[in-house]
Amino acid sequence: MSVIPTDDPRLTAMGLLAEVYAGLAARMQPVLQAAGLSDIDFETLIRLARSPRESLRMSDLAAQTGLSTSGVTRVVDRLEREGLVTRVACATDRRASYATLTPLGGERLEAVLPLHLKDIEQSFTGLLGADELDRFLQTLRTIRDVVRPCATAGAVEGACPDPP
């Protein structure tokens, strides 16, 4: 008879991570909803805001968000209709286009960020000391670089090579 290792610390780590993520997402939702943003809308806008020239190639934005190319197209289409993002054709490659944060998109982020950061501080980062937070961020980056190596595509030189 085999014994199922249900008390394995690897299972505990995954369970805790899932519980923390679900709890944080639920806590952040009301502020984002009040600003008229879904989780993926906010993620798209903040990734653009943190990118050079507040712009990313659509394929890099898809890689960063983990969405398919069609999924990121739908998100950008919706944000473009709301005037928060604009799409710009690449001058050197007709196949490529860029999603770019508009001034209105920047204003929407400026309006939501203070409350969002307060939520993050109260239920996440504020619970850790400075050294703990530094170690935690490094640990998250180490794991992220293995499980989502293209999460910084377009924002960091050489983060995710273009397909041949």
pLDDT at 156: 53
Give the bridge partners for 98, in sequence order: 57, 88
Burial of 72 (0-12, 13-18, 19+ CB in 10 A): buried
Cα(50)–Cα(105) distance, integer angstroms: 13
Name which residue leads in pLDDT, 5 or 101. 101
Query: Are the beta carbons of 55 and 48 closer than 8 angstroms?
Result: yes
pLDDT at 122: 96
pLDDT at 9: 93
Percent pLDDT > 90 in the chain is 75
Name which residue leads in pLDDT, 149 or 80. 80
Judge whether residue 62 has pLDDT over 70. Answer: yes
Q: pLDDT-derived band of residue 1, with 50, 70 and 90 as boundaries?
A: low
Judge whether residue 160 has pLDDT over 70. Answer: no
Residue bearing tokens 């196949």: 95
Judge whether residue 11 has pLDDT over 70. Answer: yes
